[in-house]
Amino acid sequence: MRVIICENYEEMSKQAAKLVISQVTLKPESILGLATGSTPIGMYDKLIEANKAGEVDFSKVTTFNLDEYYPLSADNDQSYHYFMNEHLFSKTNIPFERTHVPDGEAANPEKECEEYDKKIEAAGGIDLQILGIGQNGHIGFNEPDKNLIAGTHLTELTDSTIEANSRFFEKKEDVPTKALTMGIASILKSKKIIIMANGAAKHEVVSALMTPDITTDIPATMLKIHSDVVVICDKEAFYGKQN
């Protein structure tokens, strides 16, 4: 696991965008794994700028997002479909028909999950996966538990995740309690992984990534198994609150 410690959120966003741009420049038909949440928004802004400036061409990429609330319709402004359109897809030349987000309205969620993994495999697997990290150590919506699940699956959100994500909803009761998420193996099959974290609230979990321990209580520690992971974080996430 390599670590890049950045001065601040802006720097972290720039560094992560640089790696995505390099990936797409080296392999224009890259399969990108994408994440939602507040962490990658700055990076998406940089990718939009670079795409507009003609510094990167996304016309051949395919994307797979990590997760989606369940049940929630794609046009709900809290859905991850909506988020991705708003923060990236509609503002770049990524072909919309080659973007994938799990269907939060699937009548048969188990089948949707199985097909989602098959689609990733059929596309040739994810070349570069972008991850945020929950304060509780989740990646995607793989929440801390006794057992983790390998493939894409329907999961219950923990109270701490519902609490953390309630800031995006009018009230906590509006946060869906379930989600469809890529599993730990779906994520670990990616050829390269970038995990981003900013702010002092992520310090404890980033510190857990720096120890040798792997535990299902902190799902992100599973990334230590992977041979090509880069942590891009700001100083507060790495060192704790700065004065």
- In the complex, the residues that contact ligand PGA under the rule CB under 6 A are 37-39, 132-134
Taking the complex as a whole, how short is the minimal distance between the CB of residue 37 and ligand PGA, in angstroms? 3
- Among residues 27 and 162, whose Cβ is nearest to ligand PGA? 162
Residue nearest to ligand PGA (CB): 37
- Amino acid present at 102: P
Q: Catalogue the active-site residues.
A: 67, 136, 138, 143
Cβ nearer to ligand PGA, comparing 23 with 39: 39
- Phi first, then psi, for residue 112 (nearest 5°) are -55, -45
Q: Considering the complex, what minimum distance in angstroms separates the CB of residue 107 from ligand PGA?
A: 27
Question: Is the Cβ of residue 45 or residue 57 nearer to ligand PGA in the bound state?
Answer: 45
Residues 6+ apart with CB under 8 A from 30: 23, 24, 60, 61, 62, 127, 128
In the bound complex, what is the minimum distance in angstroms from residue 211's beta carbon to ligand PGA?
Answer: 20
Q: What string of H, E and C letters represents the secondary structure of 12-65? A: HHHHHHHHHHHHHHHCCCCEEEECCCCCCHHHHHHHHHHHHCCCCCCCCCEEEE
Q: How far is the CB of 53 from ligand PGA (least distance, A)?
A: 26
Q: Are 178 and 87 in contact (CB under 8 A)?
A: no
CB-nearer residue toward ligand PGA: 114 or 188: 188
